[in-house]
Structure 1
Amino acid sequence: MTDKTFNVLFLCTGNSARSVMAEALITTMGHGRFQGYSAGSFPNGTVNPFAIEQIEHTDYPVTNLRSKSWDELAAADAPQMDFIITVCDNAAGEVCPIWPGHPLTAHWGFEDPAALNGSDEEKRALFHKVFRQIMARISIFVSLPLSMLEKNAIHHEMKKIGETQV
């Protein structure tokens, strides 16, 4: 069994909701096996308060959360990523930076709760729903025996998780 901590980057366009929630969830659910990161192609500069509400129920420190560009995590001095997962369809279709180390990539699409025009109660409900969906996929991912699988098998499993109905 490996003692390696796997770095996982979640990408979205605005880096204000889905990718930030995924960062917190993989870090807390991975119990030291995974370190989550998030970034956006066009970050909006703030983390959505409804995303923060969801994350507050985990052990992840919300003071660590910020909306940032993927350029920051593609820099030479950034941590090397093992896995990169896009969580919105826009980011999945964009030309990404070239990532050092050639990390495995997958797309796990989720509805954008930040795009909902509704009451606070409706927004909160959608954020909760998407948070639970992200949690379900991450639960499957962190349960994979990564140290025992070949790189191609891991990639296949990552893509399969993204196709899972949650």
Structure 2
Amino acid sequence: MATLNHTDTTEPTMPTPLRVLFICDGNAARSQMAAGLLRHLGGSDFEVHSAGLEAAAPQPQAIAALQEIGIDIAGLPTPHIDDYEAMQFDYVITLCEETKESCLAFPRDHANLHWECADPADVSGPTAAVTAAYRQVRDQLRRQIEQWLPTVRRAGA
């Protein structure tokens, strides 16, 4: 008789991916970074999208901040929030006060969450200070996602 030696400590996968939308004002830094992080950390349990109140080009500093930890968001689309008005989401996560107020009625099956993040694009000065601001937002979003994942996986499994 064979002995089962199971040492897998990963979280259980969910039967269907949860659809998550991250929204910030321009979809050029915070929402792009959050989406990249959740795709990386959450894997196939999530269908991840990002959008902005305005569609802006991705900020090179946001791309670089994620590349530092092995996540590539270069070349991803930066859609406007209106591009998703017909889609239903399990979670809509706003990342700035402007979107929190603007997206209260966005269609969702489960929850609207708000994770306030400073806009790293507001930081000016030496390159080191700007780079540090993007890293700080990246790390804040990563911590937030890592804290949220076990809860949402238990609820969705």
**Percent of aligned pairs with the same amino acid:** 26
For 1:131, what is the secondary structure of its paired residue? helix
Shift of 1:7: 1.2
Q: Structure 1 stretch 24-33 or stretch 50-59: which is displaced more?
A: 50-59
Given residue 93 of structure 2, which amino acid in structure 1 is its aligned partner? Answer: I
Shift of the 42–96 alpha-carbon distance from structure 1 to 2, 3 Å rule, reads farther
Matching residue of 1:48:
59
Shift of the 5–64 alpha-carbon distance from structure 1 to 2, 3 Å rule, reads farther
Q: Structure 1 stretch 6-15 or stretch 49-58: which is displaced more?
A: 49-58
Instruction: Report the TM-score, using the length of structure 1 for normalisation.
Output: 0.77
Matched residues in 1 for 2:101 and 2:152: separation?
29
Pick from 106, 109, 113 the counterpart of residue 102 of structure 1: 109
The Cα RMSD (Å) is: 2.1
Matching residue of 1:164:
none
Matching residue of 2:4:
none
Matched residues in 1 for 2:76 and 2:152: separation?
29
Shift of 1:61: 3.8
Shift of 1:58: 4.7
Given residue 136 of structure 1, which amino acid in structure 2 is its aligned partner? Answer: R
Is 1:123 matched up with 2:130?
yes
Is 1:84 matched up with 2:92?
yes
Instruction: Report the TM-score, using the length of structure 2 for normalisation.
Output: 0.81
Shift of the 143–122 alpha-carbon distance from structure 1 to 2, 3 Å rule, reads same
Q: Which has the larger radius of gyration?
A: 2
> Does the 8 Å contact 1:28/1:58 carry over to 2?
no
Shift of 1:31: 2.3
Shift of the 67–35 alpha-carbon distance from structure 1 to 2, 3 Å rule, reads same
- Structure 1: 5+ residue stretches without partners: 150-166
